[in-house]
Structure 1
């Protein structure tokens, strides 16, 4: 069996999980001096779950996302991804010579949307991320937060059922980051999209995740999983949730676990 295993269309309706990593190991370096970056990681993400990966730098969080996206192959173990994937990176990576609409139209074309339908689909995507009417704007005219919204819309152009997000708000100011956190939380609730999200922030992890997976480095491995029993409906008042005592307790507990992971 190859390290990465794809499932056939007939299998997609049977399992409840969208992502299964089993006994994953990743090695870099040379054959004479290999470095094990990830060792024996197993992780299942159920359909519609919002799973957040936290842990110190170098623990393999982004590596796991790359494996799920198909950008990289494991040295050992198997990766099963049962539905279509979209990826949002830390930087927007937009084409600066194209308009906002041009960036989305390019993505739509890549995913087989015919020319006559692209304008309407572009407006639908922009509306979904709160940028209605901005298709003609140049990307360099946008704020950092607006550019990241366009990047999210571009990832959604493929109509993915699984969204991979690699610290997408890390470079944003605090206020913009909070707004986008709320929007992504609502977006996931409305669409039912399965999300695998990487962050270093305990607060962001508790706010967004239905479950938080804690990793440690040297080599990268899973050392804990923390369920987040907070309301996840699209109508949830996120501002009120941030001030809830239960939220504060979970954030403090997760921050302590993450600090411990840095020395594990």
Structure 2
């Protein structure tokens, strides 16, 4: 995206939500957007997904996109497999192939054998894994994740952080991830984009030169001195963004 401006409200009383934001995401990157509430992180995801159009500037997306929201938004009257079958049908997968493909997706997110269960029987973390599997049904090259772990307990959140790192390494997908957490940003991202509010704008970009990939030991990474230093640096920059 280049020079993007997003405005809400009326013509007589417009509110600028995002002002002159330019951002390039390269294939295979894991880019994390971090910043205070109201700085436009989710708005940028919506622009990339095509849910919104900018008032000025341009957004160019050359690859297929999948979206994971903060809440799983599953159909409670359908089974786990039924939720995935619905998504697969929308993406043109033949009826005869949907059950097998749904099981492949569930295996990818660590939920093999749960296709027949109702969504309300699952824990919050399991439901979010189903939501990730549903997003992968489209075989996206870009995965947009809007604070997907914000509502989860700390232990579940840590487990899913590790799984998302692994998933990104296995699939090779480009990921754009929104969070408020400096630690989560450093743990997951290969590059962190810091935003400030009033109106939303990019104020810094922080590369994360830490090991990545499906085989990375996340526990060891958390104990790495470089991780602690980057987390402290990013936390300071984020505090400045909130105060700006």
| TM-score, L = length of structure 1 | 0.92
Matched, 1:100 2:77: no
Name the SS of the counterpart of 1:127 in structure 2: helix
Aligned pairs, how many?
244
Name the SS of the counterpart of 2:53 in structure 1: coil
Q: How does 1:25-40 map to 2 (within 5 A)?
A: 25-40=5-20
Q: How does 1:231-242 map to 2 (within 5 A)?
A: 231-242=211-222
Q: How does 1:1-264 map to 2 (within 5 A)?
A: 21-264=1-244
| TM-score, L = length of structure 2 | 0.99
| Greater per-residue strand proportion | 1
Corresponding residue for residue 11 of structure 1: none
Greater Cα shift, 230-239 or 97-106: 230-239
Determine the C-alpha separation between the residues in 2 that align with 1:35 and 1:120. 48
Structure 2 gap segments, 5+ residues each? none
Shift of the alpha carbon at 1:134? Answer: 0.4
Determine the C-alpha separation between the residues in 2 that align with 1:262 and 1:81. 29
Deviations 1:35-78 (A, max 9, x none): 11100000000000000000000000000000000001100000
Shift of the alpha carbon at 1:169? Answer: 0.1
Determine the C-alpha separation between the residues in 2 that align with 1:97 and 1:242. 40
Determine the C-alpha separation between the residues in 2 that align with 1:239 and 1:79. 37
Corresponding residue for residue 5 of structure 1: none
Name the SS of the counterpart of 1:206 in structure 2: helix
Determine the C-alpha separation between the residues in 2 that align with 1:129 and 1:233. 16
Shift of the alpha carbon at 1:233? Answer: 2.1
Name the SS of the counterpart of 1:80 in structure 2: coil
Name the SS of the counterpart of 1:77 in structure 2: strand
4+ residue stretches of structure 1 with deviation over 2 A? none
Determine the C-alpha separation between the residues in 1 that align with 2:8 and 2:106. 40
